[in-house]
Amino acid sequence: MSHLTYAEAGVIGLLQGITELFPISSLGHAVLIPAIIGGSWAQDLDVSKAESPYLAFIVGLHVATATAMIIYFWRDWLRIIKGFFASIGHVISPAPGTRRFQPQNTDQMLAWMIILATIPVGLAGIALEHDFRVYFSKPILTSCFLFLNGFILLAGERARRRHADMEAQEIAADLQAVSERQKATVPAGAPGGGGRHSSGQRAMKQQHANLAVESDERIVRRTGWLGALMLGASQILALLPGISRDGTVMVAGMFRGLSRQDAARFSFLLSAPVILAAGVLKIPDLTGPLGAGIRGPILFGSLLSGISAFFALRFLVRYFSDPKRTLTPFAIYCLAAGLGAFIYLSVR
């Protein structure tokens, strides 16, 4: 019978939710933490072993993390999905004087950019995931990849500095828009403290939704079809444990001229379908023999993973909205953790 304790599931579930969104590689930590703890943890949580129950556990974590991301961005996803189906209707019955496949607005364009960007990593995952996991998911190699991830993040910050003035202007404009809309929506002297508070909350939600649309317009304008394909392809690097999916997309986006805030937003939107698809494709591992006897711990760990992912995402969205915040702390962490793990695992 497969073995996975609630303690193992809880710790790894919490870490998965945080590290999947933070640009520090969830898979890298999923490999390194059990190896560093050693003992039964290293045996139970060996991702490179063909028949490891850890594979079924990771399926649950992926589905839970993707679900949390979709819940957090549910308004955006509703708008993007509507745009997708509207574009399908345009293909079937195009308006007079327009080409059959020509997205009509930002939502439609963004929907197809996400689909296009998902294709390269989807094909690579199907073809290479097993080999990458078996041959590269070794603790020593993973520590090296995590160290390399630190340099990738530093390179992204260096590219961002070339567009620092533009980023500061965009953030200032967004904050000004929030302030003006709040004043217009909640005028001084509005009746009722509780009603005013409720009205203000609704107004703020609408303002954030409007700002998200403005961000999407910049992403579509500056990225385009080729850029979306390139940013999607950058996720292939994340098949190497220790390389962050969100980190590589953010860095690639900043090299394309996106602000860090817009690059982070696109990476989060792009991650959800990739992570969810990776989990869904591996559902047989969860429902089959690998999941036998450990579905309780899997459910427990997945629940913690989803909760931690939701709050990690909320923190990062706020973090990247501040122009003073950078990827440097994450880079330093990866450099230190990668080097420290390499030394420890080498001399142990």
What is the C-alpha separation between 43 and 35, in angstroms, rounded? 9
Q: Over the stretch 169-197, which tens digit does the pLDDT of each residue have?
A: 666 666 565 566 556 655 444 444 455 55
What average pLDDT does the chain have?
83
Quick one: which of 106, 23, 55, 35 has its CA closest to 327? 23
Quick one: which of 125, 180, 170, 165 has its CA closest to 264? 170
What is the C-alpha separation between 88 and 138, in angstroms, rounded? 44
What is the C-alpha separation between 133 and 135, in angstroms, rounded? 6
Q: Over the stretch 254-304, which tens digit does the pLDDT of each residue have?
A: 988 888 889 999 999 998 888 888 777 777 777 777 777 788 888 899 999
**Structural tokens at position 157:** 């910050």
Residue 169: per-residue pLDDT = 67
What is the C-alpha separation between 110 and 84, in angstroms, rounded? 9
**Structural tokens at position 327:** 């990827």
Q: Over the stretch 322-342, which tens digit does the pLDDT of each residue have?
A: 878 889 999 999 999 999 999
**Structural tokens at position 198:** 């409720």
109 Cβ partners below 8 Å, 6+ apart? 83, 103, 220
Specify the residue for token string 């296009």: 116
Q: At what angle do helices 139-161 and 328-347 cross, to 10 degrees?
A: 160
pLDDT, block means (10 residues), the chain with 348 residues: 78 91 92 90 78 75 90 93 85 60 81 93 84 83 96 89 65 61 52 53 63 86 92 92 93 89 92 83 74 84 94 92 88 97 94
Residue 1: per-residue pLDDT = 39
